[in-house]
Chains A and B, each alone.
Chain A
Amino acid sequence: MNSQYTPGVVPARLSGDALVQNFADLHAPLAPHEAAVAADRCYFCHDAPCITACPTDIDIPLFIRQISTGTPEAAAKTIFDQNILGGMCARVCPTEDLCEQACVREMAEGKPVEIGRLQRYATDTLMAKGIHPYERAPGTGKKIAVVGAGPAGLSCAHRLAMLGNDVTVYDAMPKPGGLNEYGIAAYKSTNDFAAAEVEWLVSIGGIEIKNGMALGDQLKMDDLVGCFAAVFLAVGLGGVNAMGVDGNDKDGVTDAVSFIQELRQASDLTMLPIGRNVVVIGGGMTAVDAAVQSKLLGAEQVTIAYRRGRDAMSASRYEQDLAASHGVQLLFNVQPKAIHGNGAVAEIELEYTSAIDGKLSGTGETVRLKADQVFRAIGQTLTSDGGLTLEGRKIAVDEHGRTSRAGVWAGGDCAAGGDDLTVTAVAEGRDAAMDIHATLNGSV
Chain B
Amino acid sequence: MADLTTNFLGITSPNPFWLASAPPTDKEYNVRRAFEAGWGGVVWKTLGSEGPPVVNVNGPRYGVIHGADRRVLGLNNIELITDRDLQTNLDEITRVKKDYPDRALIVSIMVPCEEQAWKDILPKVEATGADGIELNFGCPHGMSERGMGAAVGQVPEYIEMVTRWCKQYYSKPVIVKLTPNITDIRKPAAAAKRGGADAVSLINTINSIVSVDLDTMSPEPSIGGKGSHGGYCGPAVKPIAMSMVSEIARDPETQGLPISGIGGVTTWRDAAEYITLGCGNVQVCTAAMTYGFKVVQEMISGLSQWMDEKGHVSIQDFMGAAVPNVTDWQYLNLNYVAKASINQDDCISCGRCYAACEDTSHQAIAMSDDRTFSVIDSECVACNLCVEVCPVEGCISMVPMEPGTVDPRTGKTVEADYANWTTHPNNPGAVAAE
Contacts and interface: CB of A to CB of B under 8 A. Distances in A.
Counting chain A CB atoms within 10 Å of each CB, the highest count among B69, B348, B354, B392 belongs to B348
Given A43-B391, A46-B355, A104 B69 contact: no
B68 A46 contact: no
A40 B392 CA distance: 16
Contacts of B68: 40-41
A379 to B, nearest CB: 34
Counting chain A CB atoms within 10 Å of each CB, the highest count among B350, B354, B367, B391 belongs to B350
B362 interface: no
A40 B71 CA distance: 11
A49 B352 contact: no
B129 interface: no
Given A49-B371, A108-B392, A43 B350 contact: yes
A108 B348 contact: yes
A223 to B, nearest CB: 48
Contacts of A36: 70
A45 B392 contact: no
Nearest to B365: A46
A46 B348 contact: no
Interface string A29-44: 0000000110011011
Interface of A: 36-37, 40-41, 43-49, 104-105, 107-108
Nearest to B355: A46
A370 B391 CA distance: 55
Interface of B: 68-70, 348-352, 354-355, 367, 371, 391-392
B372 to A, nearest CB: 13
Contacts of A46: 350-352, 354-355, 367
Contacts of B352: 43-46
28 contacts: A36-B70, A37-B69, A40-B68, A40-B69, A41-B68, A43-B352, A44-B352, A45-B350, A45-B352, A46-B350, A46-B351, A46-B352, A46-B354, A46-B355, A47-B351, A47-B367, A48-B350, A48-B351, A49-B349, A49-B371, A104-B348, A104-B349, A104-B350, A107-B348, A107-B349, A108-B348, A108-B391, A108-B392
Counting chain B CB atoms within 10 Å of each CB, the highest count among A36, A37, A40, A45 belongs to A45
Contacts of B367: 46-47
A232 B72 CA distance: 54
Contacts of A104: 348-350
B97 to A, nearest CB: 44
A77 to B, nearest CB: 20
A34 to B, nearest CB: 12
A48 B391 CA distance: 14
A43 B389 CA distance: 10
Given A36-B70, A49-B349, A104-B348, 7 more contacts: A41-B68, A43-B350, A45-B350, A46-B367, A48-B351, A49-B371, A108-B392
B26 to A, nearest CB: 31
B199 to A, nearest CB: 41
**5 A-B pairs with the lowest CB-CB distances in the bound complex, closest first:** A46-B351, A46-B355, A40-B68, A108-B348, A104-B348
A41 B69 CA distance: 9
A41 B348 CA distance: 14
Contacts of B392: 108
A105 B371 CA distance: 15
A285 B216 CA distance: 52
B348 A105 contact: yes
B276 to A, nearest CB: 32
A246 B367 CA distance: 59
Contacts of A43: 350, 352, 391
A279 B91 CA distance: 81
Nearest to B389: A43
Nearest to B68: A40
A180 to B, nearest CB: 34
Nearest to A46: B351
Nearest to A68: B68
B121 to A, nearest CB: 48
A281 B354 CA distance: 49
Contacts of A105: 348
B99 to A, nearest CB: 42
A372 to B, nearest CB: 50
A43 B349 CA distance: 11
B69 A45 contact: no
A219 to B, nearest CB: 46
A71 to B, nearest CB: 12
Contacts of A37: 69
Contacts of B348: 104-105, 107-108
A44 B390 CA distance: 11
A108 B348 CA distance: 6
Contacts of A40: 68-69
A380 B84 CA distance: 79
Nearest to A47: B351
Nearest to B356: A46
B106 to A, nearest CB: 39
Contacts of B69: 37, 40
A192 to B, nearest CB: 35
Contacts of A49: 349, 371
A48 B371 CA distance: 10
A104 B371 CA distance: 11
A47 B369 CA distance: 11
A113 to B, nearest CB: 11
Nearest to B70: A36
B351 to A, nearest CB: 3
